[in-house]
Each structure stands twice: as C-alpha cells, then as structure tokens.
Amino acid sequence: MPGDFTQLSFITLFFGVVTFILVMFLPAFLELRKPKDAGPRRIEENVVSSKYQVQLASIERSEDTEADLAVIKKVANILSALPNLEP
C-alpha cells in the first residue's frame, strides 16, 4: 500500500468527501424537493408568421417617414424634367 494514512489525513479525507458530495448534490436535492423550473421547454411556434408580422409592421411605419417623402419628391422632379412624349 502506498504511503501511510495518518489519523488526521483520514479525517481530512472523510470530511472532504462528505463536503464534496453535499455541495455536489445540494442543488439537485433542493430542486427535486421544490421544483421551480417551468417544465418542458416551449418549442418555437410562429417563426414564419412572426417574421411576416415584423415585415408588415416595418412597411406600415415607413409610410409616415419623411425619408420616403423625400424620395417621392426626387422621383417627381425627375419625371417633370422628362420630355412629354404624348402627341
């Protein structure tokens, strides 16, 4: 057998192991005694529709923005500068 266990090292080892086990299993014991986790993970349901909703919302918002009005003015200016091709 390698080395000689003194009484002190034996006691240290014993309490070390007991403390390790307690620390290791204490959270599990607490959670099992009074579960606080919300249970099964809820799977994603509306990945497609939520993306559409975001797109629709952003289009709706963009109708009020000044940036769009500026673009419209620029287009109107270009159109007015074009020659009239109607007979």
Partner 1 sequence: MIIEILEASFLVLTGLMIAYLVRHYIFTLAVLKDAGKKKEAAILENRVHVLSVSILIPAFNEEMVIGRLLQRMCELTYPADRLQILVVDDASTDGTGEIAEEFSRLHGQIEVLHRSEAEGRRGKASALNAGLNIVKGEIVLCFDADYYPQRDIVEQLSKVFEDPRVGAVQGRVTVLNEPENIVTRLVALERIGGYRIDQQARDRLRLIPQFGGTVGGFRTDLLKSLGGWDESMLAEDTDLTFRVYLSGYKIRYSNEAECYEEAVESWRAYWKQRYRWARGHMQCAFKHLFQVLKSENLRFRERVDALFLLNVYFMPVFVLFSWIISIPLFLLGPPPWLSLGWAAGIFSIYSFVGNFAPFFEVGIGAYLDGRTRAHWLVSLLVFAFLYNIPICTKALVDLFISKVAGRRSVLWDKTIHSGNGNSYIANQNKIPKRY
Residues binding partner 1: what is the number (CB under 8 A)? Answer: 26
Question: Helices (H), strands (E): how many in the chain?
Answer: 3, 0
- Binders of partner 1 among residues 24 to 83 (CB under 8 A) are 24-25, 27-28, 30-32, 35-51
Which amino acid is located at 43 in the chain?
A: I
Least distance (Å) from partner 1 to the CB of residue 52? 8
Determine the interface stretch with partner 1 among 6-14, 20-28, 57-65, 67-75 (rule: CB under 8 A): 20-28
Task: Determine contact, residues 2/9, Cβ cutoff 8 Å.
Answer: no
